[in-house]
Structure 1
Amino acid sequence: MAAQTVKTLTWGVKQSFRAYVEGAGGTIEAGAGAQRTADGGFTFDAAPDSSLTVDADGKLTGRGLFLGEVQFAAHGGMLKVALVDPILEITDAGALLTVADHVSRTYRLEAARLDLGVANTEPSGEVVLPAALMMFGCQWLGDHYPAGTPLDPVQLGLAG
């Protein structure tokens, strides 16, 4: 099997966070290319200059640039979280998911570390990676979860 390009990133952030926002009468809106999935997560399409691939051995390499915005809001605006243009970087130290935390795209933060050691390729062809919250991700989600908290897994859709 030849290397395959990653075309989509699907991530729900954390199911309990989504449930909290909606349970508090808040809103979750996806746009600018991001779409809500049937199970409540979000799918982002790869940017044209994205270089994330899966080689013949199932190893991820490169840098995945994904497009879209998700806005979480509740408590009359007291809770506001933005998930904008995720980037998945594969380095010698592992896999890191960063996000812009505002639609201005001025700053990026390290939201989650992904566990390449237990990546799983589903029968559908998607690569599924467990995710855990990083320190800046704690602040991003309003300091409600400590660093290391398991997040929803990241799913990577492959071309063809």
Structure 2
Amino acid sequence: MIEERESPRKLIWAIHERFIAYVERQIPDAEISCSRGAYRDTDGAFCFPQATSVSGTELCFLGVVHFTGHGGMLDMRIKDPRIASRGSGQALSIVDAIDDASRIDFAELLTVPGADGDGGVIEFDVRINAFSSQEMGGVYPAGSEMARIVVSEK
């Protein structure tokens, strides 16, 4: 169970610069919308406020960023991202667009050495996985880099 609360932390993520540029410049009917607490900062990154989780074992965030275009062929939603351990690594999961009760791992994460909480900032290198590659039209292969995620104090 996730509950909204005033939080000093947020997840900041530009997602994938080339993908965003393509959506904004090449798709005439494209829309990028933010809702449920998510917003876009002045640098173009998307920000999600932190939520709390009953288990306390994940970093949970609230909000939705929705990409649409190509007459409905593009319909990608990043909803309520979470950072959680997966084996020896970490993953960013999002709410499944088809079943709101399910989550899907959207990307693989690696904590950036030296940026692991000092001063309230945690940074993650982000890699596309098979699911996110498919969501972005197969243009970006699994394993390729996405924008870095920063979890910081407000």
Question: Between Structure 1 and Structure 2, how many residues are aligned?
Answer: 146
Paired residue for 2:32, among 23, 28, 50? 28
Q: Distance in 2 between matches of 1:128 and 1:50?
A: 24
TM-score by length of 1: 0.79
* Cα-Cα RMSD: 2.6
Q: Distance in 2 between matches of 1:6 and 1:143?
A: 36
**1:132 corresponds to:** 127
**2:9 corresponds to:** 7
Does 1:78 find its partner at 2:73? yes
Paired residue for 1:96, among 68, 91, 99? 91
1:101 and 1:140 in contact (8 A); partners too: no
The 1:96/1:156 distance shift into structure 2, 3 A limit, reads same
How far does the alpha carbon of each residue in 1:2-45 deviate from its partner, in whole angstroms, 9 at most, with x for none?
Answer: xxx97211111101111111112311111111011112121111
Cα offset, 1:152, TM superposition: 0.3
Mapping for residues 108-119 of structure 1, pairs under 5 Å:
108-116=103-111, 118=113
Cα offset, 1:49, TM superposition: 2.3
Runs of 4+ residues over 3 Å off in structure 1: 121-125
Identical aligned residues as a percent: 29
Q: Distance in 2 between matches of 1:68 and 1:113?
A: 20
TM-score by length of 2: 0.81
